[in-house]
Copies of this chain bind each other. A is one copy, B any other.
Amino acid sequence: MNEEIKKQIIELLETKRYGNLYQYMEKVNNQDISLLFEELSEEDMVLLFRLLPKDEAADVFSYMEPDLQEKLINCLTDKELKTVVDELFMDDTVDLIEEMPSNVVKRILKTVNKEDRETINELLKYPSDSAGSIMTTEFIDLKVNMTVEEAFKKIKKIGLNKETVYTCYVLDIRREIIGIVDIKDLLLAERDTLIKNIMETNVITVNTLDDKEEVAKQFDKYDVMALPVVDKENRLVGIVTIDDAIDVLQDENTEDFEIMAAMTPTEDSYFKTSVWKHAKNRILWLLLLMISATLTGAILTHYEEAFAAIPLLVSFIPMIMDTGGNCGSQSSTLIIRGMAMDEIKLKDFFKAIWKEIRVAILVGLVLGICNSVRVLIQYHDLKLSIVLGLTLIATVCLAKTLGCILPMLAKKLKLDPAIMAAPLITTIVDTGSILIYFSIAVSIMNI
């Protein structure tokens, strides 16, 4: 939002010129008003909220963060709360109920009529990662034998409370979908055309229990604005709209980033997560990885004689470990992301490994030769130079192969491939590379 307008609003609030305030508010987007609320005192927030027209108030409310929503609800009368909840879309109401403490939930449910309360209870039952949990039950349904004219009348009658009017669903008597009609086709058709003559019968549906991430990916694949959700009996029970699909995609990406950096993912934003929670999310993986790293240490103690004889050998450990870790994380990142984007499938297993092995040989040769030359120039020691060259080539090949195999294996075992990212791969490759390094060193340098 324009900083100028924000300043003006705050100033008008402070000087209590509410008439002018009303005019100013009209210039501001609802999303920006909800952001502005975060900076206001409780009284100013409630005051400003009461100035909003009721449909806009509900819209602003739906954009607010849960903690702010709770604060606001606690300041509203039951009647005001009812006005807000009545205007909310069903999926937003369900989200709200899931976030609020029980006393607030009770107040919200009291404002809702019996029929809606049943719908809400149904929606609350869907698992949190399912399509059912992100769908809304408000959509426009048409019948095959309606004319375009009648369809428009129906939209005009019920459209105001529907989340989207861009796609309408044609249902039969059992509420199964037999077609969809895009609003564009309705607009371009003649008024007396029958719906059945313009509807698209080739409908993509998802199931209430489908994974919401898979559902979100369908939006990307099929370029649709909404997807119909059907229950086990194939009846239409709701729709998922594209704005919710984008949120799911972004949340899943954030989750992948967090898992790939060895953290327990959290749904809250960085600053909203407490220090304790942050620490808790990170310690488990760190401990686990620390324990596995001691395995590499155990291998090192095995070669104490070797580096007691030639202490210089120790100084290459960080370079070998880091390079191995980086190579492994490059491969695993590409494979994990490729699988998340459906570009790499499990049936491509050997194709992917073959590709990684060829890349590894190329990369390994370049890094190995660079290092051999450097060591030869710096230490004038041909054997040491050969040891390092060979170690790097072998380490790169090991790292890239594991980086490719492990995420695919995880997927095959129905685990999240993202756990097989840099941190775990690095720890595993470390053990291998140290073993390779000292085996080669011992045999070539006759220690």
A: residues with CB less than 8 A from B are 26-29, 31, 152, 155-156, 159-160, 165-166, 183-184, 187-188, 202, 204, 219-223, 225, 242-243, 246-247, 249-250, 253-254, 256-258, 260-263, 269-271, 275-276, 278-279, 282-283, 285-287, 289-290, 293-294, 296-298, 300-301, 304, 307-308, 311-312, 314-319, 321-323, 325-327, 329-330, 332-338, 341, 343-344, 348, 351-352, 355, 358-359, 362-363, 366-367, 370-371, 374, 422-423, 426-427, 430, 434
Contacts and interface: CB of A to CB of B under 8 A. Distances in A.
A262 B330 contact: yes
Contact of A297 (B159, B250, B316): B316
Given A202-B28, A250-B249, A314-B314, A262 B326 contact: yes
A318 B289 contact: no
Query: Which secondary structure dominates where chain A touches chain B?
Result: helix
Contacts of A359: 275, 278-279, 282
A279 B363 contact: yes
Contacts of A312: 301, 304
A311 B250 CA distance: 49
A427 B321 CA distance: 10
Pairs A-B, 10 closest by C-beta atoms: A261-B333, A296-B318, A297-B315, A279-B362, A293-B319, A293-B322, A300-B315, A270-B338, A304-B311, A269-B343
5 contacts: A165-B187, A261-B329, A271-B348, A307-B314, A318-B430
A282 B327 CA distance: 8
Given A29-B222, A300-B315, A321-B321, 7 more contacts: A165-B183, A220-B250, A282-B330, A289-B326, A300-B314, A304-B314, A308-B311
Contacts of A367: 283, 286-287, 290
B422 A261 contact: yes
Contacts of A246: 219-220, 242, 246, 249
